[in-house]
Structure 1
Amino acid sequence: MNIDADWEYVADRVMGGVSAGALQVDDVGGRRAHRLAGDVSTQNNGGFIQMAFDLGDAEVFDASSWTGIEIDVFGNDEVYDIRLRTDQLTRPWQSFRATFNAPRQWTTVQVPFTSFEANKTDATFDPARLRRIGVLAYGRDFKADVAVSQIRFYR
């Protein structure tokens, strides 16, 4: 199921970090895509830039009939995070996360729900309670450049 993502940009500056980037719609490798690019810095307790979206207007989205998330990506051969948030989480730093590599060509990456690990929470991931999906450049000093042309749930 294709997701009509309304991506927004968020950076560690909301918490005092100094990472800098931008989210824009570009032609990347012949495809229209949302591109997250910038400099991730761990200075001042920072370390991320992100593009994320909420899943519709409802409190939660029930994704339990799917196996996971499939994403068409083009990047700079760096590792990025996919972060999921559910209504089980009460703090902005809590999430369920998995990593993927973004090669220098269009690639479809499948991330099964079973590969998401709890981050700063004791909750167990429940795909029936999904609220938000994010793609992050995270955790180390590097130049981020990742584009997403499509994101969807897969069976």
Structure 2
Amino acid sequence: MRAKFVGLVSSLYIIGSTMAQADEKLAEDFSKSPETRWDYVADTVMGGVSSGQVQFSSEGNVAFARLTGTVSTENNGGFIQFRRKLPDRPDEGVSGVRLLVRGNGEQYFVHLRTRGTVLPWQYYQAEFPTSEEWTKISLPLSGFKASGAMLRAIPVADEITTVGVVA
């Protein structure tokens, strides 16, 4: 199976102790050399054949990351992503992630890695939809699912080390 993806992310927030709380910490607005903070990764690191790229640009006052490519499940593959190591771990009161997104109608994912996700295939995942309009997406930590039985059921905020946007 092959699928083409085009997704845009304009901002990424780490949000406070309740999803409605205004206590948000802007983790990324994709300005000021985001290419120095974000890495592109594809399933080719595991023998897959997906291809793509992340580009950083702006339209008017809005800076964003554009993830484009073709995802293939051949050779046990199936992803493209851009990912950032967090310079500081979030506070223990953090309850989720908020993004401003626009895309081609496909489903995308946020992957969180923690101090407990030691193996390359371990992560916590939450899915979100996209549309042609900029949409604010809120993903509570309780909605992230562990990629395997060896991980805790829900990620612990102050142990999060990386965040990635995945197609």
Query: TM-score normalized by structure 1?
Result: 0.81
Q: Percent identity?
A: 37
Tell me the residue number matched to 2:105.
77
Tell me the residue number matched to 2:132.
104
Between the two proteins, the alignment pairs up a number of residues equal to 134
SS in 1 for 2:26: coil
Q: Which of structures 1 and 2 has the larger relative contact order (alpha carbons within 8 angstroms, sep 6+)?
A: 1
Of 70, 73, 79, which residue of structure 2 is paired with 1:42? Answer: 73
2:128 is the alignment partner of 1:89: no
Q: How large is the Cα RMSD of the aligned pairs? A: 1.6
Question: Structure 1 pair 32/116, CA: closer, same or farther in 2 (3 Å)?
Answer: same
Equivalent pair of 1:85/1:95 in contact (CA under 8 Å): yes
CA distance in 2, matches of 1:29, 1:122: 45
2:26 is the alignment partner of 1:2: yes
SS in 1 for 2:116: coil
- How far the C-alpha of 1:28 sits from its partner, in A, is 5.5
SS in 1 for 2:91: coil
Tell me the residue number matched to 2:161.
131
Code of the residue aligned with 1:112 in structure 2: it is: P
Alignment gaps of 5+ in structure 2: 1-24, 29-33
Equivalent pair of 1:63/1:130 in contact (CA under 8 Å): no
Tell me the residue number matched to 1:145.
none
Equivalent pair of 1:94/1:121 in contact (CA under 8 Å): no
Question: Structure 1 pair 29/100, CA: closer, same or farther in 2 (3 Å)?
Answer: farther
Alignment gaps of 5+ in structure 1: 138-155
CA distance in 1, matches of 2:42, 2:71: 9
Equivalent pair of 1:95/1:121 in contact (CA under 8 Å): no
Equivalent pair of 2:97/2:140 in contact (CA under 8 Å): yes
